[in-house]
Structure 1
Amino acid sequence: MEIKVFDVDGQLLRTGIRQGTADRPPLLMFNGIGANLELAEPFMNALDDTSGIIFDVPGVGGSPKPALPYRPSTLARMAKRLVEILGYEQVDVSGVSWGGGLAQQFAYQYPGVCRKLILAATAPGVTMVPGAPKVLMKMASPRRYTDPGYMRSIAAEIYGGDFRKDPTLIARHAAAMKGATQYGYMLQLFAMSGWTSLPFLWLLRQPTLILAGTDDPLVPVINARMLHGMIPNSRLELLDDGHLFLVTKPKQSAEMIEAFLRE
């Protein structure tokens, strides 16, 4: 990815851009909570001909903290402005975990800009069926992004899937982390407090691909089934993996997503 910084209405956004060759809109990706854009690089590198756009949320990675707290609608508007600055009128939109909420909000808020929607390891907000409390407590702390040793000790428990089987995946993931500030992480938690997509899911008209891992301790697969039942033009695909299948199975994930985008 080529890394650039853009001024989006007074907020600097550190942005990763992958140039593809396909004659279709680029894929705008919303990352998980606390995640810097480098963590999505294995997936971005696995794409064949699709252009990609991803940015560090304010207060995370290389994007400075915002002047004020934000809501999902704020970030959706910011993302739309970034897309306009980059010269695009339309994008395909994907979101993983926390970023899946932003993807749902973007698709609802800007239906003419979002051509297709991909939701990975995500849920409809506070109305989700949660994972085990001890797993959620560990996820709620930014320590996993500031302490690589702590991340290695809890990764298998909170992410499941291939992280349970291959320690090298954990080490590689931890090495790519740039860290979220505690303030930035808290802003992300606050942004989703009280937010749910259930009232508008039935209004989404974009073709939607929902991906979920069968061994996801954070977002049980029932949440994907809930999204599939509520979004009219959607289909559900399950992967034999955990929460971070875009990281542990980047090639398989990219192939599934690009096949959907080419349809």
Structure 2
Amino acid sequence: MKDQTISQIKQYMEKEKLQEKEIAALKKDKRKGVQLLVQSYEKKKEKERDLEERFQKMCHFERIGYVNGCQYIAGTDEAGRGPLAGPIVAAAVILPSNWKLLGLNDSKQLNEKTKNKFYSIITQEAVSYGVSIIPSQRIDELNIYEASKLAMRDAINQLQPAPDHVLIDAVKLPDLPYSSESIIKGDEKSISIAAASILAKVTRDRIMQQLHHEYPVYDFKSNMGYGTKHHLQSIKAHGISPYHRRSFAPIKELV
């Protein structure tokens, strides 16, 4: 490659997976631009190895399920337990056994652009997925814990084919007609739960953005219904909307 320009080398590095001997040859090239390209390439490959290692660790519970004879393993998670307004949303996902999406993680760890990108990939490539939305009025009737379990059950029941085994983030659902497993911080330890986390979070965020247009005074598009300083000030100044959770403090006191 010593006869190639730096631009040509860059194009080659972007298209091809370099062999060790090619990297070694480039390291001997005294041009500063080439050395910067090599450093950038090696950092990129190191990041890819880290993402691959993390992804493989997150396949641990799924691999155990496949070894035990399960064909369809579902993950389920919810979004929206803590906000003062809006629904709680749960999702359930069955992924293909050979599926891979490097960078997949708990939705809280990803920026909006990545979440939306992953949402599209997951919904297109999943064997099956279900999403359940429980409105604020129903949350007030049940309490948030029971509402989250109801949403998870409903999302799981939408899956076709039905799962052989269900991985659940933190919550126990003992009355499911399939075997299940509750995993603390499951959205960081299971690709199926992480995928469900993204579907639930993106769905809920989009709902809150729609509600913002109906009630812009609360700035739902920014706070997603959480009790930010501005949100609390808006409640005191304007009262509550039909989407606020009347059983939650401090709204309970206002009502």
Q: Is the helix fraction higher in 1 or 2?
A: 2
Normalised TM-score (structure 2): 0.29
Would you tell me which structure has more strand in proportion to its own residues? 1
Structure index of larger Rg: 2
